[in-house]
């Protein structure tokens, strides 16, 4: 083997450790490495992007430069980017999603899926459901889990702002590559509407949008998917039950009894949809004053009341997962696009949210393809 051939082989090995930032798989495996040439220590690389103007180009350029920097025999890098042809994109889709032209399926419903899906629900608006969604997601991602967030609140979408997502999804053939924020994959109807345009749709269009979020978006191998549902038990709640029958509901309430009654109705939907209730989160439970004392501006006991009522309604234990204190920094983090569990991980509210995340962090174990040790007598 010539010296140049050995260097080229070493470059391919180095590039096999560079993942596409959106797909999270090696660029060598995805057919993105077009040409590799070495002459006199000068390495010429051509990398094919999935689409022109790929938003993750700078990240890819940095990762490639870092990967080849340590290759013996390479003293200079000349990196060029091209764009995949239609056929190459079609081949990529087949590699990622299976047979071309096949009807997209929701991967989380497949027997081999190990992703736990949590639908964050509430009976009414204003209880902090979206804040809980983004902070629980960030807490789970900080534990090293692969996390996705789907903003299923089509009319009142707020997840892009609360996670600081500025990029738009990338489309590869029929697949949608979701933007990422704080290590999480995120999708929202707000990424497809100009400015602050209102979404004025009836039920069938809402169902189709949610279906596309689940089937057309390339989520990869997630540990956890969180859906931020709209308040109440309307079209989206019904669609989630139909499209994701194994999704587990987390009901968010505040302590006052009026909110607790509405939250109970939101959770009791499982008696008709036959879904599982993961538990109840009580938000805005108390507020700490400058002297260290606590006040309860919204009363007390609502979360416990909802958990006990739902336990009676469904006939299985529905735990109170935790109580989150009222902290202005939680709202500030949402406005700034940085979840509180990341900006101030040691505050009381962050600790309470992380404790809830710990209870949700167990990944499903699939038995698909595994020998069970059974024998026929």
CATH code of the domain in which 24 resides: 3.30.300.130
Residues 232 and 259 in one domain: yes
Mean pLDDT of 304-327: 94
Final residue belonging to a domain, choices 66, 97, 128: 97
For the chain, give the longest Cα–Cα distance.
78
- Position 102 scores a pLDDT of 57
Summarised one tens digit per residue, pLDDT across range 22-80 is 787 899 998 999 999 998 889 999 999 887 777 778 889 999 999 999 888 899 999 99
Residue from 365, 346, 343, 362 nearest 354 by CA: 346
Q: From the CB of residue 92, how many other CB atoms can be counted at a distance below 10 Å? A: 21
Q: Among 104-113, 277-286, 335-344, where is mean pLDDT lowest?
A: 104-113
29 close to 188: Cβ distance less than 8 angstroms:
no
Query: Is 125 known as a binding-site position?
Result: yes
| Residue 167 to residues 62, 130, 180, 182, 268, Cα–Cα distance (Å) | 18, 20, 8, 13, 37
Final residue belonging to a domain, choices 45, 68, 97: 97
340 close to 328: Cβ distance less than 8 angstroms:
no
Instruction: For residues 114 and 51, give the distance between their C-alpha atoms in angstroms, rounded to a whole number.
Output: 30
> Would 103 be classed as within a structural domain?
no
- Position 86 scores a pLDDT of 83
Q: 51-65, 104-118, 332-346: which has the highest mean pLDDT?
A: 332-346
> Would 181 be classed as within a structural domain?
yes
> Would 178 be classed as within a structural domain?
yes
> Would 367 be classed as within a structural domain?
no
Burial of 185 (0-12, 13-18, 19+ CB in 10 A): buried
Residues 141 and 230 in one domain: yes
Final residue belonging to a domain, choices 97, 120, 140: 97
Query: Is 126 known as a binding-site position?
Result: yes
Say which CATH number the domain at 327 has.
3.40.50.300
Query: Is 129 known as a binding-site position?
Result: yes
- Core vs surface per residue 53-74: b (16+ CB within 10 A) or e: ebbbeeebeebbeebbeebeeb
Residues 19 and 161 in one domain: no
> Would 365 be classed as within a structural domain?
no
Residue from 227, 231, 228, 226 nearest 122 by CA: 231
> Would 145 be classed as within a structural domain?
yes
- Position 103 scores a pLDDT of 63
* Displacement of CA 317 from its chain's centroid (Å): 27
Q: Domains in the chain: how many in total?
A: 2
Side-chain-facing half-sphere of 10: CA atoms under 13 Å: 17
Mean pLDDT of 96-113: 77
Residues 176 and 36 in one domain: no
Residues 74 and 117 in one domain: no
Give 295's strand partners.
287
Query: Is 239 known as a binding-site position?
Result: no
17 close to 28: Cβ distance less than 8 angstroms:
no
Domain that holds residue 230: 108-360
- Position 196 scores a pLDDT of 77
Residues 125 and 269 in one domain: yes
Q: What pTM was computed for the model?
A: 0.81
């Amino acid at each position: 083997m010539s010296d140049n051939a050995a260097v080229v082989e070493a470059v391919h090995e180095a590039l096999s450790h560079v993942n596409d930032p959106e797909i999270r798989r090696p660029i060598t495996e995805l057919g993105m490495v077009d040409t590799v040439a070495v002459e006199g220590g000068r390495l010429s690389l051509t990398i094919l992007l999935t689409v022109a103007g790929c938003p993750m180009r700078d990240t890819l350029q940095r990762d490639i430069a870092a990967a080849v920097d340590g290759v013996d025999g390479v003293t200079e890098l000349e990196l060029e980017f091209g764009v995949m042809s239609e056929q190459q994109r079609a081949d990529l889709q087949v590699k990622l999603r299976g047979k071309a032209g096949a009807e997209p399926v929701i991967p989380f419903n497949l027997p081999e899926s190990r992703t736990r899906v949590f639908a964050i629900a509430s009976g009414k608006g204003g209880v902090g459901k979206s804040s809980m969604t983004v902070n629980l997601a960030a807490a789970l991602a900080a534990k090293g889990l692969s996390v996705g967030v789907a903003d299923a609140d089509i009319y009142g979408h707020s997840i892009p702002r609360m996670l600081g997502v500025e990029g738009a999804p990338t489309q590869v053939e029929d697949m949608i590559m979701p933007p990422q924020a704080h290590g999480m994959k995120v999708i929202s109807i707000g990424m497809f509407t100009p400015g602050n345009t209102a979404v004025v749709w009836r039920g069938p269009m809402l169902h189709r949008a949610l279906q596309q979020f689940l089937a057309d978006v390339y989520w990869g191998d997630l540990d956890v998917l969180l859906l931020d549902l709209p308040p109440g038990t309307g079209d989206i709640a019904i669609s989630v039950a139909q499209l994701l029958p194994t999704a587990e509901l987390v009901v968010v309430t505040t302590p006052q009894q009026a909110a607790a009654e509405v939250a109970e109705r939101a959770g009791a939907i499982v008696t008709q949809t036959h879904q599982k209730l993961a538990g109840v989160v009580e938000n805005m439970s108390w507020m700490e004053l400058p002297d260290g004392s606590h006040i309860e501006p919204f009363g007390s006991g609502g979360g416990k009341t909802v958990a006990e009522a739902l336990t009676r309604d469904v006939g299985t234990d529905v735990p109170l997962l935790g109580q989150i204190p009222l902290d202005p920094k939680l709202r500030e983090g949402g406005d700034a696009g940085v979840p509180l569990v990341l900006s101030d991980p040691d505050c009381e509210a962050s600790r309470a949210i992380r404790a809830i995340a710990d209870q949700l962090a167990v990944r499903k174990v699939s038995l698909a393809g595994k020998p069970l040790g059974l024998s026929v007598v």
